Structure 1
Amino acid sequence: MDQAERLRTLMGTSDRRARVIAITSGKGGVGKTSLAVNLSIALAQRSRRVVLADFDIGLANADVLMGVQPRMHAGHVLNGEMAASDALTQVAGGVWLLPGAVGARHFSDLEKSERDYLCRSLAEIESSVDFLVLDTAAGISRNVIQFASHADEVIIVTTPEPTAVTDGYAILKAISREKGTGRLRIVVNFANDYAEAQRVFERIQSVARRFLGVEADLLGYIVTDDHVRQAVRRRRPFLLETQGSKASQCVRAIADRLLGEEPVASTAGFVKKFASSLGGVMG
C-alpha cells in the first residue's frame, strides 16, 4: 500500500471527532516541538491514528526533527492550493505530519472564502483520526491564543529556569481568559526528577489559583537526557533513536496518562470553534 492509499484509508475509516491537543509554551527553547513530535509518535505506537499539525507559523521545524523534507506544507493549504489532507506526509513512527510553512500569512489575514476552505479542510482531518496534535508557536500571540483556546486540552511546556516558569504562567493566564478553554496541563522539561517538576508546577499553579482562579494539572515531566540532544543532531525523534532512554520513558508515561483519561466533553469540535473565531461559517 503506497502513501496515497494509506491516506485514503486514514481519511475514510471514522466519523468520530479527534481529541485535539495544543502544545504551546511561553518562550522558545523549552522543547515544545520535541514534545509534540515524540508524544505524537508515542500515541501512534499505541495504535492511535495521529496527525501532527505544525502551526508554528514562520518558524516551523517539526519536519526537521523528524528528518523529512516534505514537498507540500500548510502554506499550500492556506493559499487554497490543496486540502489539508493532501498536504499530509507520513513520517517516522506512523504519524501523519502537516508540515508548517515558513513565512505564511497569518490566519486573520485570510479572506472569508479562504478561511472557510481552510476550516472545512481541517474538519475532514478532525473527523478521521484519534488525535490531532497542534504544535503552536512559542509566546503570547493572537495566533497561539486562537489555536490553544479552542483545543480540547492545552499542554504548556516549561522548564525549571525562572524565565521559563514566568513565561509559562503568562501563557497560561492569556489562554485561560478565553471563553470555553479546555483542560490546562503542564509538562516540565529538562527536570532532574519528579520532585523538581512538582516544585515547578506548584509555583505556577499556586499563582494561577490565587490570581486567576484557574486550576491546571501536572501532566508529566521529561528528565534532562543527553540522548535527546544527540537525536536532534541526527534529525531523529529521540523516542525512536533511543527507545530505552529516560526521556523516552517519560514521554511514554505522558502518552499512557492521556490514554487512561476520559476525553474532555465538548459539544462543538475544535474546527467549528476555530472557524467561529476567524469569522468563518461551518455548515
Structure 2
Amino acid sequence: MRILPIASGKGGVGKSLIAANLSVAFAQAGKRVILADLDLGASNLHLIIGCRSPQTGIGTFLSDTRSDFSRVIMDTDIPNLRFIPGDAEIPGSANLKQNQITALAKRLLSVDADILVIDLGAGSHQSILDFFLLSGRGIVVSTPTVTATLNAYLFLKNTVFRLMYSSFSRGSPAHIYLEGLRKEGTALQKLYIPKLLEHISRIDPESHGKFLKRMQYFHPRLILNMLDEPKQAEVALKIRRSCSEYLGLDLEHLGVIYRDSLQDIALASHLPILLYKNEAILSQAIYRIADKILQSEEDEVFLEGRSIEESFQEAELEAEVDFEARMGYVEDLLHCGALSMGDLVETVKSQQLEINQLRKENLFLKSKLTKAITQGFKI
C-alpha cells in the first residue's frame, strides 16, 4: 500500500482540496483509495468530497483505541474511494498523546487499500510530523506567498529534527546532547543542522550513521498551489535551495496549480473540482500530478529515473503551458458572454488588493529577518 501524507506549514494553502481531488483522481484510475481526515480540530474534508455529516470518525476510535477501526471507515458515492472522517468537536483531538498516535498509526498502516491519502493539519505539531513520517515520500503544499514558503521550509526543518530525534536511542551520547540543549532552553529548530550533525558525528558516530541511513529514504515532494502567473513558480527553487543547503534534503517538485474561481463553485456544490468540471485548468493540473505519483516507484524507494533537476524544469514548463491555457479560457468566457468585462475588472481589483496585502506582509517579514540577522540569528 502506498501512503501519501499531505501537509503544509500553514493553513489556507489548499492542502485539503488537493488531498481530496488527488484521492478522486487515484480512484478514477482504478486504485482502491482511502482518504483519511487527520486535520483534527478542523475536520471538514467530508464537505469537499460531498459526504453526509459523519456519525463516527477518528475521535470515536481515539476514545477507545481497542475498538474495531473498520467502523470509522465509510463508503462514498465515488467508486473506489472510502473515507475516514476526522472529529472537529471532540476536545483534545488535535493534541494526541503518544500512545494514541501509535495506536492510530498502527490501524492506518493496516487498512486494506492500494493508496492511503492522509490529510494532515497545518503546522508542525509532533503528531503531524509523526504521521508525515509514515512515508518517506510525503507531500508539502505551499503557495507563492512569503509566509507560506517560509512555513513550508520550517515544516520540513521540523520534520528533519523529528526524524533525527527519533533516530537516537535513549541514553545515547547524541540523545543526551539534544536533551541537554533542550533543557538549556535552546530551540532545536533554530540550530544550524549541518553544524549540529558535524558535532554529533564526533561524539556519537553510531547514532549519526543511523540518522543518515533513515535520511536516505526521506524524499518529500512539493506542490505549489494558487499561482497567478508563471514567474511565481520560481519560488519553488528557493525552497529547494534552502532544503538542500541547510537541511541536506532533496526535494522533488510534483508541479504547480493555478488559482481557479471554479473551485469555489465546486466547493459550494460539495463536489471535488474533478467531478464538477474535469476539463478545468485546476483539474488537469491535479490529474497531471496524480499521474506522476502513480508512475513513481514504491513509497520508500527514491525516484531515480527522473532526476530532481528534471522535476523542477518540468514544473516551470507546466507553469507556462497552464498560464497560456488559462488566458485562453478567460478569452473564451469573454467572447461567449459567460464572463462580462465588469466581472474581469472586479477580479483584477480583487487581485490587486491581495498583491498590496502581500507586499505589506513581505516588508514586515523582511524587517524581522533583517533584525534577526543583525542579532546573529540564523534560520
TM bin (shorter chain): 0.7 to 0.9
Out of 5, 11, 23, the residue aligned to residue 40 of structure 1 is 23
Return structure 1 stretches of 4+ with deviation > 6 angstroms: none
1:236-255 to structure 2, matched below 5 A, reads 236-255=271-290
Confirm whether residue 138 of structure 1 aligns to residue 126 of structure 2. no
Contact 1:80 1:117 survives alignment (8 Å) = no
Residue 225 (1) aligns with residue 213 (2): no
Name the TM-score, length of structure 2 as normaliser: 0.60
Residue number in structure 2 paired with 1:277: none
Give the corresponding residue for 1:162.
Answer: 146
Q: In 2, Cα distance between the equivalents of 1:115 and 1:158?
A: 25
How has the CA–CA distance of structure 1 residues 42 and 171 changed in structure 2, closer, same or farther, with 3 Å as cutoff?
A: same
- TM-aligned CA deviation for residue 106 of structure 1: 5.2
Aligned-partner Cα distance in 1 for 2:128–2:260? 28
* Residue in structure 2 matched with residue 184 of structure 1 by the alignment: 220
Bigger helix fraction: 2
Residue of structure 2 aligned with 1:99, choices 60, 69, 85: 85
Alpha-carbon distance between aligned partners in 1 of 2:122 and 2:259, rounded to the nearest angstrom = 20
**Residues 141-194 of structure 1, C-alpha deviations (whole Å, 9 max, x = no match):** 112111112223210000011111111111111112333363210000011355
More strand per residue: 1
**Is this contact kept in 2: 1:83–1:118, CA < 8 A?**
no
Q: How does 1:115-130 map to 2 (within 5 A)?
A: 118-125=104-111, 128-130=112-114
User: Counterparts of 2:259 and 2:104 in 1: how far apart (Å)?
Assistant: 38
Q: Bigger radius of gyration, 1 or 2?
A: 2
Q: CA deviation at 1:221?
A: 1.5
Q: Report what 1:210 is aligned to.
A: 245
SS in 1 for 2:248: coil
Q: Which has the higher contact order (CA 8 A, sep 6+)?
A: 1
What displacement does 1:92 show? 3.9
The answer to whether the 8 Å contact 1:80/1:118 transfers is no
Letter in 1 for 2:224: V
Q: Does 1:83 align with 2:68?
A: yes
User: Does the CA-based 8 Å contact 2:121-2:128 persist in structure 1?
Assistant: yes
Residues 30 and 108 (structure 1), Cα distance of their counterparts in 2 relative to 1, 3 Å cut: closer
Following the alignment from structure 2 to structure 1, what is the Cα–Cα distance between the partners of residues 105 and 143? 33
Tell me, which stretches of 5 or more residues in structure 1 are unaligned? 1-17, 267-283
Relative distance call for 1:212 and 1:115 in structure 2 (3 A) is: closer
Query: Residue 142 of structure 2 contacts residue 148 of structure 2 at CA under 8 Å; is this kept in 1?
Result: yes
> Which runs of structure 2 are paired with 1:48-67 in the superposition (5 Å)?
48-67=31-50
| RMSD of equivalent CA atoms | 2.0
TM (norm. structure 1) is 0.80
Compared CA separation, residues 192 and 115, structure 1 to 2 (3 A): closer
Q: How many residues align?
A: 244
- Kindly provide the amino acid, as one letter, of the partner of residue 68 in structure 2: A
CA distance in 2, matches of 1:202, 1:90: 40
Distance 1:48 1:194 in 2: 32
1:250 alignment partner AA: A
Deviations 1:220-269 (A, max 9, x none): 12111111111112221111111110000000001100111111337xxx
8 Å contact 2:137–2:300 — kept in the other structure? no
What stretches of structure 2 of length at least 5 have no aligned partner? 164-213, 302-379
